[in-house]
């Protein structure tokens, strides 16, 4: 019997922004059986790990190591010897002050296999997000990377203080905030002028990024006054002056804003991406989970006689996805929909249908049921058969209006939006403590389930501390029924319209 061979992958997770994680790193992480990860690895990157993989935290911070390095080394070997695919996930790049070289050496000495997957180092990416190029033709053509703290117990420093102090190149220190007085003192002792520009960049590439600018002679005092804490990257040199002209990350319109997204996790990505692209911090609070209806037999029955219908109306992307999945499961050819007209509420729902290769005949200007009724007036005739696959608990306006026209409506329940109880305590604490700027709602169900999760007793507190942004009048009305005061209502009932409405309040 062949014994399965294990392997260790030393993967750089990048500087913090999960979108700076490499494609290769993600592909490998999705095959992991064991993941040993560090403190600065973004939690969104860990979402790529298979649910059945073993997660082991090996984070380190000053005077507090979850696992000593020697134990980490042995753990990598032990897991590989079990025949596992082991991912050693490290912040930045594993070979730039990440002790990846030591780990790879130990793995090789113990006759195990390994592979290196480089990551974007914070030494380059973090200054870039702060608008500081580490090289610039007007300032310097070289950069030196230096550890901010050397190996404990070393009698002689391996840092050439005299060399880097006398030079003119950019110096980037990693993990050096706590040693800042010593670092500045050494640089001035060996030739750097006291007025040499220096930048401290905390939580670089993330919405929480902070930048502190000073000179070698005063940066420690500024750090103390600002209560500036690690982790941070330190940049020394004339290139720091470029930040004034090249600052970009903090210039985004939603910079510094914390915005809660209450959509179901499967649907949240579009809104989350738009908030992130505009510089805001999107905090996912999926108040609902979309669950296909347990009994889909009414839908299956309708599909068997689909040729009798004149119209199919879709009111959400959830209905589209579940409908076409059922179509496939029943072995029904999409060509059997030929001749049936299709209506949809919303451009996103319409686009999802068209992606299936079907034409959408009616999309109202306003994305609510009332507008769809108006758009269908004169198009649906008395005696027409209409299939309406939708959510449990949806408003009755649409089917009642169609019946008043004289249409025969088959309303089939194909999914429900249920309250999501799997919400992180950190997010709940942030909302309750007033750290959130905006809370967004994209449907009535997100409102009602949000209030059920957060508690009715906290509604008044939320009204005082955060702004409520609703996608349209129906959602805003539901918010009011639950005691929430709507501060922002989109003029266009779309995700883009919701974001535009939030931006408008910032520009005022």
pLDDT digits (tens, 9 = 90+) for 192-246: 999 999 999 999 999 999 999 999 999 999 999 999 999 999 999 999 999 999 9
Candidate CATH numbers 3.90.76.10, 3.40.50.300, 3.40.1010.10, 1.10.3720.10; the one for domain 7-120: 3.40.1010.10
The Cα–Cα gap between 189 and 50 comes to 52
Q: What is the pLDDT of residues 234-284, one digit of tens each?
A: 999 999 999 999 999 999 999 999 999 988 776 778 899 999 999 999 998
Cite the active site residues: 38, 60, 175
Q: What is the CATH number of domain 124-250?
A: 3.30.950.10
Q: In the chain, what are the domain boundaries? A: 7-120, 124-250, 258-287+420-507, 291-419
The residue whose two tokens read 């949809």 is: 344
HEC string for 291-337: EECCCCHHHHHHHHCHHHCCEEEECCHHHHHHHHHHHHHCCCCHHHH
- For helices 495-507 and 269-277, what crossing angle results, to 10°? 30
- Gap between the Cα atoms of 201 and 126, Å rounded: 7
What CA–CA distance (Å, rounded) separates 16 from 122?
A: 8
Per-residue model confidence (pLDDT) at position 184 = 96
C-beta of residue 502 within 8 angstroms of C-beta of residue 469: yes
Q: What is the largest CA-CA distance in the chain?
A: 92
**Does residue 330 register a pLDDT over 60?**
yes
Hey, what CATH class is 291-419 in? alpha beta
pLDDT of residue 223: 97
Range picked from 135-144, 174-183, 193-202, 334-343 for highest mean pLDDT: 193-202
Give the pLDDT band (50/70/90) at residue 158: confident
Q: Do domains 258-287+420-507 and 291-419 have the same CATH topology?
A: yes
Instruction: Decide: 273 and 19 in contact? Cβ < 8 Å.
Output: no
> Between 3.30.420.10, 3.30.70.80, 3.40.50.620, 3.40.50.10090, what CATH number should domain 258-287+420-507 receive?
3.40.50.10090
* DSSP code at position 203: S
Structure tokens at 130: 């702060």
Work out the angle at residue 143's Cα, subtended by the Cα atoms of residues 137 and 147, and round it to the nearest 5 degrees. 160
- Indicate if the pLDDT at residue 164 is higher than 60: yes
Q: How far apart are CA 474 and CA 280, in angstroms?
A: 26
CB 307 within 8 A of CB 417: no
Q: What is the pLDDT of residues 372-420, one digit of tens each?
A: 888 888 888 899 999 999 988 888 888 898 898 899 999 999 998 887 7
- pLDDT tens track for 409-424: 999 999 988 877 666 6
Residue from 231, 110, 244, 251 nearest 177 by CA:
231
pLDDT in tens, 120-149: 999 999 999 999 999 999 989 999 999 887
Residue 508 is predicted with a pLDDT of 59
What are the strands of the beta sheet with 143-147, ordered from one edge? 143-147, 170-174, 232-236, 197-202, 210-215
State the residue for tokens 């609902």.
288
Question: What is the mean pLDDT of the segment spanning 31-52?
Answer: 94
Q: What are the contacts of 394-403 at 24+ separation with CB within 8 A?
A: 394/315, 395/369, 395/474, 397/369, 397/370, 397/373, 398/313, 398/315, 398/369, 398/372, 398/373, 401/373, 402/373, 402/376
The structure tokens 């134990």 sit at: 71
The counts of H helices and E strands in the chain are 20, 22
- pLDDT average, residue stretch 153-166: 80
Is 132:246 a contact under the CB 8 Å cutoff?
Answer: yes
Distance in angstroms (rounded) separating the CA atoms of residues 175 and 158: 16
């Amino acid at each position: 019997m062949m014994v399965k061979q294990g392997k260790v992958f030393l993967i750089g997770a990048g500087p913090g922004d999960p979108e700076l994680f490499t494609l290769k790193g993600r592909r490998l992480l999705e095959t992991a059986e064991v993941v040993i990860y560090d403190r600065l690895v973004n939690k969104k990157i860990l979402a790529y790990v298979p649910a059945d993989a073993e997660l082991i935290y090996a984070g380190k911070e000053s005077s507090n190591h979850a696992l000593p390095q020697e134990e980490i080394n042995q753990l990598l070997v032990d897991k590989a010897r079990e025949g596992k695919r082991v991912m050693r996930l490290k912040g930045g790049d594993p070979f730039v002050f990440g002790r990846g070289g030591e780990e790879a050496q130990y793995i090789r000495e113990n006759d195990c296999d390994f592979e290196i997957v480089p990551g974007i180092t914070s030494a380059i990416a973090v200054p870039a997000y702060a608008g500081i190029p580490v090289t610039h033709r007007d300032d310097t053509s070289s950069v030196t990377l230096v550890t901010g703290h050397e190996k404990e117990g070393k009698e002689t420093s391996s840092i050439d203080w005299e060399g880097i102090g006398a030079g003119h190149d950019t110096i980037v220190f990693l993990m050096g905030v706590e040693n800042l007085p010593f670092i500045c003192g050494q640089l001035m002792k060996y030739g750097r002028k006291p007025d040499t520009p220096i930048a401290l960049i905390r939580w670089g590439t993330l919405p929480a990024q902070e930048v502190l600018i000073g000179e070698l002679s005063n940066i420690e005092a500024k750090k103390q006054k600002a209560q500036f804490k690690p982790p941070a990257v330190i940049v020394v040199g004339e290139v720091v002056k470029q930040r004034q002209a090249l600052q970009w990350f903090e210039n985004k319109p939603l910079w510094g804003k914390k915005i809660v997204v209450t959509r179901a996790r499967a649907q949240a990505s579009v809104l989350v991406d738009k908030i992130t692209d505009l510089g805001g911090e999107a905090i996912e609070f999926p108040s609902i989970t979309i669950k296909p209806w347990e009994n889909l037999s009414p839908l299956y029955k309708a599909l068997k006689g689909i040729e009798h219908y004149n119209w199919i109306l879709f009111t959400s992307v959830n209905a589209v996805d579940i409908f076409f999945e059922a179509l496939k499961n029943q072995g029904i050819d999409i060509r059997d929909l030929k001749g049936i007209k299709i209506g949809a509420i919303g451009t996103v729902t319409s686009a999802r249908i068209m992606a299936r290769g079907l034409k959408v005949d009616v999309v109202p200007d306003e994305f609510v049921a009332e507008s769809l009724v108006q758009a269908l007036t004169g198009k649906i005739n008395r005696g027409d058969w209409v299939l309406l696959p939708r959510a449990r608990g949806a408003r009755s306006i649409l089917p009642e209006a169609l019946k008043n026209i004289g249409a025969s409506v088959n309303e089939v329940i194909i999914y429900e939006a249920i309250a999501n109880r799997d919400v992180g305590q950190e997010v709940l604490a942030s909302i309750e403590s007033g750290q959130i700027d905006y809370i967004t709602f994209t449907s009535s169900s997100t409102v009602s389930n949000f209030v059920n999760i957060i508690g009715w007793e906290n509604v008044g507190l939320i009204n005082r501390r955060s702004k409520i942004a609703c996608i349209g009048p129906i959602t805003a009305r539901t918010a009011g029924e639950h005691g929430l005061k709507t501060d922002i209502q989109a003029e266009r009932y779309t995700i883009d319209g919701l974001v535009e409405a939030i931006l408008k309040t910032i520009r005022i």
